[in-house]
Amino acid sequence: MSLGRRYRHLGRYREIIQTFFGHGFGYLVDQAGLWEFISLRQRLFGRDPEVGARLSRGDRARKALEKLGPTFIKLGQVLSTRSDLLPRDILVELQKLQDRVPPFQFKQVTEMVQAELGRPVLDIFAEFCPEPLAAASIGQVHLARLRDGQQVVVKVMRPDLERIVETDLEIMADLAGVLERRTNWGQYYRISEVVAEFAESLRDEMNYTVEAANADRFRRMFSGDERVYIPSVHWDLTTPKVLTMELVEGFKVNDLEGIRRAGLNPSVIARRLADAIFRQVLVEGFFHADPHPGNLFIDERGTIIFMDFGMVGELSGEMRQRFISFVLGVVNRDSDEVVEAILRMGEPLGKVNLMSLKRDVYRLQKRYGEIPLREVDFGKALLEIIALAFDHRIVVPSDYSFLAKSLITLESVVVELDPSLSMIDLAEPYTRRLLQEQFSFTNLRRTLRRTIHDGARLATCVPKQVSNILSLVEDGELRLKIENADGDHFIRRISALFNRLSMSIISGCLVVGTALILHRSDGSRLWGIPIAEYSFLLTGVLGVWLVLAILRSGRF
């Protein structure tokens, strides 16, 4: 943040620094060199009188974030899944953060709805309940009835929220930059990237059209599946600050009394819920990242109803395969497989000490080896792996943290409904399906085409790179020191070099030609086999012949 911006937000900047100082985090203020924001009185008397001296650092962190309001509450909720950044005692407390705040006035609600939808509330709705159904830091929810009689829920954003959040995000970005410049741990944990990722997520959550689009995507995902229901969006009554959705009646998914009163089997409900989540994660790669009982309901028929689509996670096909590799490593008690999965799941920040990583994974694996497989909590295991990876400077995408949180929440609900169920057993059909897809002919063919494309690109780049190197040598910008102790040996090596180069160029041309044939093939067949496949076979034969010819020459 520029000096001008810092002083424009001076009051809020001072409030944030003083709050953390008053809650026992003065060492952060000291390390960041921000003492100018601490008053003399606070320096003398230290801790905020509202904060008990015996509270743990986790308690103090949670209370500080709650005191600072919506942006920091959301930050704490996101950080509560980041076992790679924070110690367990703080994570446990951050998971208790309550996103419940006093509701704002009904007059402000009607003003926001009218400003966003362009008409007075009672011109749009036949009824609009003044009392909110729920109130959170981003907005609050009201029951309403449309002119055609349909019951809906209307989510309305808090007035002036964007200005408050953007100010806090600017200050967070500035503080992150200060900590990165002035502390080793700030640089190590790449705090600026964490804040930037959080800012992007929070801006999406403050745009109700993003949430509405997420709901529509889930609705399409479960179209035709009577076991799961997603409320429909009224797009004509939805804007970035107002979201109108169908009202669906039901009771909380963990309401055992309500489930039994409706004549439903809790075990069946648990299986349906697990099936829905695993389908989202392992098949679609788009999942509800906060499936707690407040967002999951059951109707009288036993249908699972998902609510609140502001927080979602997304895994590409490769990310899903990497997660399955991790699961298989844990299931097979194979430390090497887990290590390989970690390296594929994350991004190393530097050179990784593989021996040290394998040793730590083995210790973790040994601990899980003492637990029956049916009782392994893969959500917690994944969080521990993410933390372990970061200890070895391997950054794992945050979507895996969302996945871990989703699995932990799912398991807690499933166990509450039916303690005899195993997450391993429930996930098995989906993991088996993913493994079959991984080794299917279609996937192998796709991998082969990608390899051919990469090889063709490499083959076309090599001659140009060699030419550039020779030009540098010719211009005297690159000097080569050659000691010719054995002239014949030197000639043989030069000959081998050019043979390899020739092979690369010819093979590259063949590969490019084959790739073009595969791309432009009209599907013509000869004896039931695509003509493009003959071209590929011919390319392979010529490539093998070329290698054998060079080998016979003795110049390879």
* Burial degree of 474 (CB within 10 A; 0-12, 13-18, 19+): exposed
List residues bridging with 347 in a β-sheet: 395
Is residue 505 within 8 A of residue 465, CB to CB? The reply is no
CA-CA distance, 197 to 229, in Å (whole number)? 31
Strands (E), 158-311: 228-229, 242-246, 251-252, 286-288, 296-298, 304-306
* Burial degree of 365 (CB within 10 A; 0-12, 13-18, 19+): buried
Is residue 296 within 8 A of residue 413, CB to CB? The reply is yes
Neighbour tally for 312: CB within 10 Å:
23
516-555 CB burial, b ≥16 within 10 A, e <16: ebbeeeeeeeeeeebebeebbeebeeeeeebeeebeeeeb
Q: Is 425 a catalytic residue?
A: no
How many residues can be counted in the chain? 556
Catalytic residue among 290, 308, 377, 399: 290
Is residue 269 within 8 A of residue 251, CB to CB? The reply is no
β pairing state of 151-157 and 228-229: unpaired
CA-CA distance, 349 to 347, in Å (whole number)? 6
Residue showing tokens 């194979």? 334
Q: Which of 199, 248, 383, 403 is nearest to 312 (CA)?
A: 403
Cα angle vertex 37, ends 33, 42, to 5°? Answer: 105
Q: Which residues are catalytic?
A: 290
